[in-house]
């Protein structure tokens, strides 16, 4: 066995052509955000209660008990350290374990803040903020997910008692999937069909107590439990996703969330003067969070794959010299570097979405709804695109790590198992892209009527130019010009949208036409969303970025992101005439050259994520690059290695080896 080298990453870091500390601040968003995140990460990493390397070894009951222990300890530390709401959120994120508290803070509290009246917020939020109640968000049912209007749970008003009767009339009306519901939550925001008399008045949220505050036993009329094991070991099985059924459970009338609409004591349905569109503000917030989470998950996987690709050597040894670093192979770069660029791209579009949420909220309060449909579609599309790419990207990073990437200790199988449900929760990704397509088709259909496109669809206002313009690229270096990249992506998105709109206009029935063309329309929506991300990356480059070489690296990553997309989707660009075959070839030449520029900076670019080894949770992605000794060490921690002779040897294996199966206790 040859000498194990551990200095590869130190060598790599010396090659960096930019100020890594400055890039860390760019990644974090600000010096304040960096300092806060760095401090929270280190506090969590240094606390032995938050160890996570043994999750795959634990049985389900022990796993969930351990999660409750961590959640309680985290809350204790948050109180002791007197953390702000922002600090507490980062602290919980670095604990890095799906838990019932995620839904309490991420869905239950925002639902009350967004849909509850001032009086309801004054009653319920103090309890929630102090964790005196634990809440979840019970919307999805066994039979309905994306189609919220199809939910079957009922809330029937009883004017005699001034109460709502919550009921699950069918098996498929069972609430199914809400995190925290299975075992932990004391309360839920339950979405149900509001029935007054015999009339249906839409789906509304109701605060329902599920369990006794004395002994945690389910209350009368409530059947509740966990839905069972999910994909992967450890992973999302730390979360108690639940099933819930109601048998005529009565709640007070004032437990209906009534900020937007109310039911009076007499049983009349009344719309408040608060615009119903405010509900969309919460949706924009949640989806913005999901996009930010996508950048974090993808960057973790890319960090592991990049560091390990620099440590791992295979083939190419000459005259007894070292083998070639895997990261130096063009095939590895072609798969890895676009994902590295995507992590940065998603980070910056996530920052922009935070601004969009603030803008939408201010407009809603001023009763300006003009940008709402586009903002809603934009966040839906970006949620869909970023989560799909991230889920696929994590799996690609696992494969980039070869066989060792399949080990639990690589961190990648569990990261994938935890992340992949994001492709379906908060909206199925294909359903969401079709929502984007509807907005795009409506926008195109109104172009001739004087209605100006707004927000991320504003480029469609230049439809005449974009339908006719010719790409001006003549040499490979031309593809480094942001204006050329921007116009190519705008032309492609415009021409795809117009072509689909023209096909739709020939259909006798618009809804049937939409269903028939749905696969094409998803591609139209994806082109639009890719344009948004490219545009926001280019806008980031126009901001004040400080630090030696930082802007140059961001320019390289922006170009890698855009040109790798152009290469991957060149069929669209060519079919729409947005570029020529020669220009596509030049883009590919330039992309290869960009990989050469990324190569010496790759490890430093993932160091800029500033993740602790605890948070990465990967032997392959260790900061010190000391991979092989640690892999060997981890192997011996497996319970199978507690003894040389396995349990069951005498009962099963020995009789087989000794040809005495007739004596085996089978």
Within 13 Å of residue 218, how many CA atoms lie on the same side as its CB? Answer: 18
232, 250 Cβ separation under 8 angstroms:
no
The two structure tokens encoding residue 312? 């791992």
611, 300 Cβ separation under 8 angstroms:
yes
Which residues have CB under 8 Å from 367's CB, separation 6+?
A: 275
Round to whole Å and give the CA distance between 357 and 350: 11
Q: Bridge partners of 164?
A: 157, 251
Angstrom distances, CA of residue 130 to CA of 91, 126, 528: 16, 6, 43
What is the secondary structure of 200-233 as a DSSP string? EEEEEEEEEE-B-TTT-PBPTTEEEEE----STT
Any binding-site annotation on 577? Answer: no
Question: CA Rg, the chain, in Å?
Answer: 27
Q: Which of 426, 487, 490, 555 is catalytic?
A: 426
Closest CA to 228 of 156, 167, 288, 177: 177
The two structure tokens encoding residue 188? 């839920």
Question: To 5 degrees, how large is the angle CA 147–CA 148–CA 150?
Answer: 70
Q: Residue 32: what are its φ and ψ, rounded to 5°? A: -60, -45
Strand duo 175-176 + 222-226: pairing: unpaired
Round to whole Å and give the CA distance between 659 and 653: 10
Round to whole Å and give the CA distance between 67 and 100: 9
72, 47 Cβ separation under 8 angstroms:
no
Closest CA to 391 of 519, 283, 529, 231: 231
Strand duo 199-209 + 154-158: pairing: unpaired
Closest CA to 611 of 361, 353, 360, 343: 343
In angstroms, how far is the first alpha carbon of the chain from the final one? Answer: 42
Closest CA to 186 of 117, 236, 115, 128: 128
In three-state secondary structure terms, 175 is strand
Any binding-site annotation on 170? Answer: no
Closest CA to 56 of 226, 236, 239: 236
The alpha helices in 406-517, defined as continuous H runs, are: 412-419, 429-445, 463-468, 482-505, 510-516
Which residues have CB under 8 Å from 287's CB, separation 6+?
A: 353, 379, 380, 382, 383, 426, 427
Q: Which helix (H) or strand (E) holds 436?
A: helix 429-445
Annotated active-site residue 426? The verdict is: yes
Closest CA to 522 of 436, 581, 637, 622: 436
Q: Which residues are catalytic?
A: 426
> Residues forming the annotated binding site for FAD?
140, 179
> Residues forming the annotated binding site?
140, 179
């Amino acid at each position: 066995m040859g000498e194990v080298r551990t200095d590869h990453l130190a060598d790599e870091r010396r090659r960096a052509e930019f100020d890594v500390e400055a890039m860390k601040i760019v990644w974090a968003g600000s010096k304040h955000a960096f300092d806060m995140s760095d401090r929270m990460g280190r506090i969590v990493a240094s606390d032995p209660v938050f160890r996570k390397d043994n999750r795959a070894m634990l049985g389900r009951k022990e796993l969930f008990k351990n999660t409750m222990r961590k959640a309680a300890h985290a809350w204790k530390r948050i109180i002791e350290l007197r953390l702000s709401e922002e600090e507490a959120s980062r602290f919980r994120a670095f604990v890095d374990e799906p838990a019932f508290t995620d839904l309490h803070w991420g869905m239950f509290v925002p639902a009350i803040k967004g849909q509850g009246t001032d009086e309801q917020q004054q009653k319920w939020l103090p309890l929630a903020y102090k964790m005196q109640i634990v809440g979840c968000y019970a919307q999805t049912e066994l039979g309905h997910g994306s189609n919220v209007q199809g939910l079957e749970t009922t809330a029937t008003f009883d004017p005699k008692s001034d109460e709502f009767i919550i009921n699950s009339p069918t098996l498929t009306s069972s609430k199914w999937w809400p995190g925290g519901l299975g075992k932990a939550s004391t309360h839920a925001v339950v979405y149900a069909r509001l029935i007054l008399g015999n009339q249906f008045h839409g789906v509304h949220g109701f605060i329902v107590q599920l369990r006794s505050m004395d002994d945690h036993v389910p209350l009368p009329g409530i059947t509740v439990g966990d839905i069972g094991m999910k994909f992967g070991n450890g992973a999302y099985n730390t979360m108690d996703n639940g099933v819930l059924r109601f048998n005529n459970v009565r709640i007070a009338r004032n437990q209906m969330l009534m900020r937007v609409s109310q039911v009076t004591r007499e049983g009349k349905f009344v719309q408040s003067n608060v615009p119903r569109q405010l509900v969309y503000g919460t949706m924009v917030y949640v989806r913005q969070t999901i996009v930010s989470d996508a950048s974090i998950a993808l960057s973790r996987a890319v960090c592991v794959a990049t560091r390990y690709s620099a440590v791992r050597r295979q083939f190419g040894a000459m005259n007894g010299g070292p083998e070639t670093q895997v990261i130096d192979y063009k095939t590895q770069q072609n798969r890895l570097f676009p994902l590295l660029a995507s992590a940065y791209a998603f980070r910056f579009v996530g920052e922009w979405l935070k601004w969009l949420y603030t803008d939408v909220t201010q407009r809603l309060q001023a009763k300006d709804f003009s940008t709402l449909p586009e903002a809603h579609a934009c966040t839906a599309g970006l949620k869909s695109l970023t989560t799909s790419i991230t889920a696929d990207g994590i799996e690609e990073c696992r494969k980039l790590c070869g066989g060792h990437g399949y080990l639990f200790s690589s961190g990648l199988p569990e990261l994938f198992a935890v992340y992949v449900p994001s492709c379906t929760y908060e909206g199925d990704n294909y359903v969401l892209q079709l929502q984007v397509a509807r907005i795009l088709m409506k926008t195109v259909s109104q172009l001739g009527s004087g209605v100006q496109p707004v927000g991320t669809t504003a480029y469609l206002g230049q439809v005449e130019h974009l339908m006719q313009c010719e790409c001006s690229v003549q040499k490979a270096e031309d593809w480094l010009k942001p204006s050329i990249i921007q116009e190519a992506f705008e032309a492609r998105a415009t021409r795809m949208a117009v072509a689909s709109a023209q096909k739709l206009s020939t259909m006798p029935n618009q809804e049937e036409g939409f269903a028939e063309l749905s696969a094409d329309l998803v591609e139209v929506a994806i082109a639009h969303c890719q344009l948004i991300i490219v545009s926001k990356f280019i806008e980031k480059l126009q901001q004040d970025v400080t630090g030696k070489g930082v802007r140059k690296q961001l320019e390289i990553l922006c170009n890698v992101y855009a040109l790798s997309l152009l290469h991957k989707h060149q069929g669209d660009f060519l079919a729409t005439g947005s570029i020529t075959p020669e220009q596509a070839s030049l883009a590919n030449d330039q992309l290869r050259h960009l990989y050469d520029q990324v190569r010496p900076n790759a490890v430093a670019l993932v160091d800029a994520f500033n993740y602790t080894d605890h948070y990465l949770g990967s032997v392959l992605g260790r900061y010190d690059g000391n991979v092989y000794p640690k892999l060997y060490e981890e192997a011996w921690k497996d319970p199978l290695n507690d003894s040389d002779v396995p349990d069951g040897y005498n009962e099963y294996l020995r009789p087989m080896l000794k040809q005495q199966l007739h004596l085996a206790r089978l």
